[in-house]
Copies of this chain bind each other. A is one copy, B any other.
Amino acid sequence: MRPSGRKTDQMRKISFERNFSKHAEGSCLVKFGDTHVLCTASLEDRTPPWLRNTGKGWVTAEYGMLPRATGERMKREASSGKQSGRTQEIQRLIGRSLRAVVDLEALGERQISLDCDVIQADGGTRTASITGAWIALHDCLKWMEARNIIKVDRVLKDHVAAISCGIFAAQPVIDLDYLEDSAAETDANFVMTGTGGIVEIQGTAEGKPFSQDEFLTLLGLAQTGIAELVELQKQAIAG
């Protein structure tokens, strides 16, 4: 029995609120239950130094948490003077995941920065970030298309979404909330495209090692869940 009463293959209530921000070229407040992440996409007319004069663009991401997004207030990273290893790991993952579905040559020599800021946390902030950032990125590209800068269909090759799965109380479950996450024996994050291709897999034994069979069960749960997330993304951008 899951603390929330959800079935093992049941994700939390997912929602996307587009155009949450007045200023950003694309933005989305994504909710996976009580996990709320504001994703903004900012277009910048510059690229990292190593891409200059290559004709290619870049998509990058930064991740942050408001100090009281969590049960206990955490020290603000801006005041402690550096981003934690965890923060850097997550923002590198978000950036890689989005770049996997973007044609950087078709984007041209510009950069889109995705900021994923956790307003409220209840587990699964990195998977919510990736899933919501795709919407923000999409809307930023639409904004660019409306100004004849790029063609969305040539730049954005596919959907990308992410979900966590884990073994909680000896049972494989999908979309762990904080209570489950803290107690899970195995914790895995999956990032996949709309066509089912795998972009990233991260599986970690928190307690005892896991078997290949257990891992395949988690992968199966993720495949179903991500298909559902992609469906919700499609409805959101159609809205």
Which residues of A does B touch, CB under 8 Å? 21-24, 27, 34, 38, 40, 42, 44, 62, 64, 66-71, 73, 76-79, 81-83, 85-89, 91-92, 96, 100, 113, 115, 117, 119-122, 188, 192-193, 195-205, 208-212, 215, 219, 223
Are B42's CB and A68's CB within 8 A?
yes
- A96's partner among B42, B81, B204 (CB-CB below 8 A) is B204
Chain A to chain B contacts (Cβ below 8 Å), 27 pairs = A21-B119, A21-B120, A22-B120, A23-B70, A24-B73, A38-B66, A42-B68, A62-B67, A62-B76, A64-B78, A66-B115, A67-B115, A77-B78, A78-B82, A81-B82, A85-B92, A88-B89, A100-B209, A119-B119, A192-B209, A195-B209, A197-B210, A198-B210, A198-B211, A198-B215, A201-B215, A202-B203
Q: How far is the CB of A144 from chain B (nearest CB, A)?
A: 15
Q: How far is the CB of A172 from chain B (nearest CB, A)?
A: 14
B residues in contact with A195, CB < 8 Å: 209
Copies of this protein chain in the complex: 6
Are A203's CB and B200's CB within 8 A?
yes
Q: How far is the CB of A213 from chain B (nearest CB, A)?
A: 10
Q: How far is the CB of A12 from chain B (nearest CB, A)?
A: 13
Extra contacts besides A21-B68, A77-B78 (16): CB < 8 Å? A24-B73, A40-B68, A64-B76, A67-B113, A79-B83, A81-B81, A85-B85, A85-B88, A85-B92, A88-B88, A88-B89, A188-B201, A198-B205, A198-B210, A199-B205, A200-B205
B residues in contact with A82, CB < 8 Å: 78, 81-82
B residues in contact with A78, CB < 8 Å: 64, 76-78, 82-83, 87
Q: How far is the CB of A110 from chain B (nearest CB, A)?
A: 13
B residues in contact with A67, CB < 8 Å: 40, 42, 62, 113, 115
Residue of B nearest to A78 (CB): B77
Are B204's CB and A200's CB within 8 A?
yes
Q: Which of A69, A71, A73, A92 has the most CB of B within 10 A?
A: A73
Q: How far is the CB of A47 from chain B (nearest CB, A)?
A: 15
